[in-house]
Amino acid sequence: MQHYRLTVDKFLDHAAKWHGAREVVEARADGSMRRTSYAGLRARSNLMSGALLALGLEPGDRVGTLAWNTIHHLELYYAAMGAGLVCHTLNPRLSADHLSAIIDEAEDKVIAVAADLLPLVAPALARCRSVRQVIVLDDEGVPVDLPVPVAGYEKLLARAGVPAEWGVFDEESPAGLCYTSGTTGKPKGVTYTHRSNYLHTLRALQADAVGLTARETLLLAVPMFHANGWGLPFAAPAVGAKLVLPGRTLDGASLARLMRDEGVTLAVGVQTVWLGVADHLERGGETLPDLARVVIGGSACPDALLERLGERFDAEIQTSWGMTELSPVGAIAPPGVPSTGAGRAPLGLDLKLVDGDGATLPEQRGVEGRLMVKGHSVVERYFGGEESVLDAEGYFDTGDLATINTDGNLTINGRAKDLIKSGGEWINPSEIEAIVGAHPSVRHVAVVAREDVKWGERPVLVVDVDAAQAGDARGLIELLRGRVPDWWLPDQVAAVDAMPLAASGKIDKVRLRDDLANGRISAATAR
């Protein structure tokens, strides 16, 4: 058979040739719309490849992007990857200290940054040794106080943009770099190859997964700076779907208007985004007549919220689970099947459950174990690391506790690191969270440990509830009585206005514990 390199530039080549007039749309901060086509996107991305190479970059060099979901950001995805460079997406929710450490470790040569994020990147650049050029994506104004040369995106494209040959490298070459969100520890870099991204795209496009087609209009509300934007910047052009990018504006009113105006049929994002949209629709009595499906990722979604979203959107809700280390899709509820837990693993990803010592459980259905994964788009070692993070059979330890039912549906039961050891016995926060999260007033729930002189650790219940229920948050403890052991009942309850979330949409328990310990969140005695 022919040798055919599995490189991601082929997705945009395909879209430009066979779906060239299909729209890519961006909502801009001033309320206007920027529009292009896949043919136009391909042409500009290819010219930007030439401009990047003209800066002296060589295959394998990292190009950092600190940007929102915009057409410029999408162009840079393909401009960098198509030329054999590595697109290193940076998280704008990190501090300048964390950004500088990540940029320095990755040795980014160029940083492409949204104009409104320049105040964040400026102090970080002062500590980075490798960066030699900044590209401002959406503003031609050049700051005078950056320690490296600065160029506006459009001016650089006009001055140095020339056609470049794409895909002339091995399919195992690095394509992207993304650091984990750091919700349970220090962020670690995950390098995606062209082959892994290509196969991950095929995995996501399976009919029992995202199942995206050319007939759909996709709203990409997943941050493009996190884990390949869940792979959808590749999947959409691969099938020629119309792609709608919301920029940085993700409030409920703006998204609802955008979805209605552009005829969005499939929307993908974390539950906090859809909660905001649902709130807006309920206040105004509005509907989204074209919306058929919503895919939810990030943290586990309470059943009550799933039911509310399904009713408010009059659309099918698909739950999913993934990790940066998995590129990131791990499991997803198939279309047309009621969501059960995280869903099922598509072809290309294998799952197994092990005990606390790493031994494979003899029974894999209906029992809880530590979740291990293996597949063509699963990390083998972290960026800069020399040792494999896989077990003897080639499986990666997710750190999650999980069960798999007889139908193959995966349910994530919490992080092993989140278990609370009280009086020498273990408490599983996820069981408490599942019960409390089923209450209709609860938007988000988390159970974290606090130090206790007598017991070692004790659980604290933190909830984000409707304003009317905030004063009675302690009453939620009554939901647990008789359903968990009495000694599991949290000693303290805290009601918060907004739960701290990582870029992935998962609750940031590291920050939550720190906020409780340092008095930024006050907890009341529960009983």
Active-site option among 417, 421, 478, 487: 421
Q: Which of 256, 289, 313 is the last residue of a domain?
A: 313
Residues 88 and 222 reside in one and the same domain: yes
Contact 37, 20 (CB under 8 A): yes
The DSSP secondary structure of 265-281, one letter per residue, reads SEEEEEHHHHHHHHHHH
Q: Helix count (H) and strand count (E) of the chain?
A: 13, 25
Amino acid symbol at 391? D
| Mean pLDDT computed over every residue of the chain | 92
CA distances, 292 to each of 194, 212, 237, 274 (Å): 31, 12, 20, 14
Mean pLDDT to the nearest integer, 41-58: 98
Q: What is the largest CA-CA distance in the chain?
A: 70
Residues 67, 70, 71, 76, Cα dihedral to 10°: 20
Residues 212 and 74 reside in one and the same domain: yes
What is the token pair recorded at 447? Answer: 């159970």
Query: Which residue in 316, 324, 318, 306 sits closest to 342, CA to CA?
Result: 318
Active-site option among 325, 403, 488, 506: 325
The domain that holds 171 is classified in CATH as: 3.40.50.12780
At 344-398, the pLDDT tens digits run: 999 999 999 999 899 999 999 999 999 999 999 999 999 999 999 999 999 999 9
Give the pLDDT confidence score for residue 222 in this predicted structure: 94
Mean pLDDT to the nearest integer, 137-143: 71
Residue 13 lies in a domain: yes
Give the pLDDT confidence score for residue 243 in this predicted structure: 98
Is residue 186 part of the annotated active site? The answer reads no
Residues 429 and 307 reside in one and the same domain: no
Residues 410, 411, 416, 420, Cα dihedral to 10°: -170
Residue 397 lies in a domain: no
At 310-329, the pLDDT tens digits run: 999 999 999 999 999 999 99
184 pLDDT band, cuts 50/70/90, is low
514 pLDDT band, cuts 50/70/90, is confident
- pLDDT value at 470 more than 90: no
Give the pLDDT confidence score for residue 51 in this predicted structure: 98
- pLDDT value at 70 more than 90: yes
At 190-205, the pLDDT tens digits run: 999 999 999 999 999 9
Q: What angle do CA 63, 58, 117 make, to 5 degrees?
A: 15
Least confident of 48-62, 351-365, 507-521: 507-521
Residues 84 and 216 reside in one and the same domain: yes
Residues 273 and 126 reside in one and the same domain: yes
Residue 464 lies in a domain: yes
At 418-451, the pLDDT tens digits run: 888 888 788 989 889 989 988 888 888 999 998 8
Residue 350 lies in a domain: no
Residues 304 and 434 reside in one and the same domain: no
- pLDDT value at 503 more than 80: no
Contact 183, 504 (CB under 8 A): yes
Q: Which of 313, 341, 360 is the last residue of a domain?
A: 313
**C-alpha 152: how far from chain center:** 28
How far is residue 422's CA from residue 488's CA, in Å, rounded to a whole number? Answer: 9
Active-site option among 180, 217, 272, 411: 180
Mean pLDDT to the nearest integer, 10-30: 97
SS3 490: coil
Give the pLDDT confidence score for residue 144 in this predicted structure: 60
Residues 426 and 292 reside in one and the same domain: no
Mean pLDDT to the nearest integer, 28-48: 97
Query: Which residue in 330, 466, 460, 451 sits closest to 399, CA to CA?
Result: 330
Give the pLDDT confidence score for residue 498 in this predicted structure: 85
Residue 76 lies in a domain: yes
Give the pLDDT confidence score for residue 405 in this predicted structure: 95
Contact 318, 333 (CB under 8 A): yes
Query: Which residue in 235, 232, 102 sits closest to 177, CA to CA?
Result: 102
Amino acid symbol at 19? H
Structural domain count of the chain: 2
Contact 57, 49 (CB under 8 A): no
Is residue 155 part of the annotated active site? The answer reads no
Residue 67 lies in a domain: yes
Percent of the chain with pLDDT strictly greater than 70: 96
Q: Edge-to-edge strands of the sheet including 150-152?
A: 150-152, 133-136, 110-113, 62-66, 86-89, 174-179, 189-193
Residue 431 lies in a domain: yes
Mean pLDDT to the nearest integer, 224-241: 96
Residues 456 and 307 reside in one and the same domain: no
The domain that holds 472 is classified in CATH as: 3.30.300.30
Other CB atoms within 10 Å distance of the CB of residue 123? 13
Q: Which of 283, 313, 343 is the last residue of a domain?
A: 313
At 247-286, the pLDDT tens digits run: 999 999 999 999 999 999 999 998 889 989 999 999 999 9
Q: Residue 83 is part of which domain span? A: 9-313
Q: What is the pTM of this model?
A: 0.87
- pLDDT value at 513 more than 80: yes
- pLDDT value at 183 more than 60: no
Residue 146 lies in a domain: yes
Active-site option among 387, 406, 426, 454: 426
Give the pLDDT confidence score for residue 469 in this predicted structure: 59
- pLDDT value at 182 more than 70: no
Query: Which residue in 468, 467, 426 sits closest to 447, CA to CA?
Result: 426
Query: Which residue in 19, 26, 18 sits closest to 74, CA to CA?
Result: 26
Q: Which residue has the higher pLDDT, 413 or 231?
A: 231
Residues 308 and 442 reside in one and the same domain: no
Is residue 188 part of the annotated active site? The answer reads no
Give the pLDDT confidence score for residue 519 in this predicted structure: 86
Is residue 230 part of the annotated active site? The answer reads no
Q: Which residue has the higher pLDDT, 26 or 510?
A: 26
